[in-house]
């Protein structure tokens, strides 16, 4: 019958030969367990509500939160398709960042680009598509 010391020495010599492989296998195991744990945790995270987008051509897209895009709301405006400031030099689409900063009392509306340009306004550089 072998003694415990002999088994210990046998395991110790095997460990000295294979310690790098054991280290690598341990890292792979821990990474796998961490990934599995994160996957299981994702089941517990609350589900996000889908968005409901209202556009010009379509009433709604499925979902429960409602977002009316400034682009579609402004495009329906009876005032015009382009906007400029009384004191400015550029015209914008109503949903562009520059147009959103114009105070209501300073807004000038145009139906066409030509109308805005004939009044001395140029297309805004930060308004995509002008």
Model confidence at 47, in pLDDT bands (50, 70, 90)?
A: confident
In a domain, 84, yes or no: yes
Give a yes or no: residue 69 inside a domain: yes
Q: Give the per-residue pLDDT at 72.
A: 43
The verdict on 9 and 37 lying in the same domain is yes
The answer as to whether 109 is a domain residue is: yes
pLDDT average, residue stretch 25-54: 86
Q: How far apart are CA 122 and CA 116, in angstroms?
A: 8
The pLDDT value given to residue 80 = 84
Question: Same domain for 59 and 112?
Answer: yes
Q: Are residues 55 and 118 in the same domain?
A: yes
118-121-122-126 Cα dihedral, nearest 10 degrees: -150
Give the pair of three-digit tokens for residue 20: 């790098």
Q: Please report which residue ranges of the chain form alpha helices under DSSP H.
A: 4-44, 70-75, 97-100, 113-118
Among 84, 117, 79, 114, which Cα is nearest to 99's? 84
Range of the domain at 17: 1-45
Residue 130 lies in a domain: no
Q: When comparing pLDDT for 8 and 54, which is higher?
A: 8
Q: Is the pLDDT assigned to residue 104 strictly greater than 70?
A: yes
Quick check: 66 pLDDT over 70? no
Total domains present in the chain: 2
| pTM (predicted TM-score) | 0.42
């Amino acid at each position: 019958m072998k003694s415990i010391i002999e088994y210990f020495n046998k395991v110790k010599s095997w460990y000295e030969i294979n310690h790098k492989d054991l280290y690598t296998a341990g890292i792979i195991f821990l990474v796998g367990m961490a990934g599995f744990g994160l996957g299981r945790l994702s089941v517990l995270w609350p589900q996000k509500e889908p968005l409901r987008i209202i556009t010009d051509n379509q009433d709604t897209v499925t979902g429960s939160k409602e977002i009316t895009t400034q682009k579609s709301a402004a495009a329906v405006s009876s005032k015009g398709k382009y906007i400029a400031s009384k004191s400015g030099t550029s015209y914008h689409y109503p949903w562009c960042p520059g147009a959103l900063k114009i105070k209501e009392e300073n807004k000038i509306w145009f139906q066409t680009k030509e109308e805005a340009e004939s009044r001395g306004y140029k297309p805004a550089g930060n308004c995509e598509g002008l």
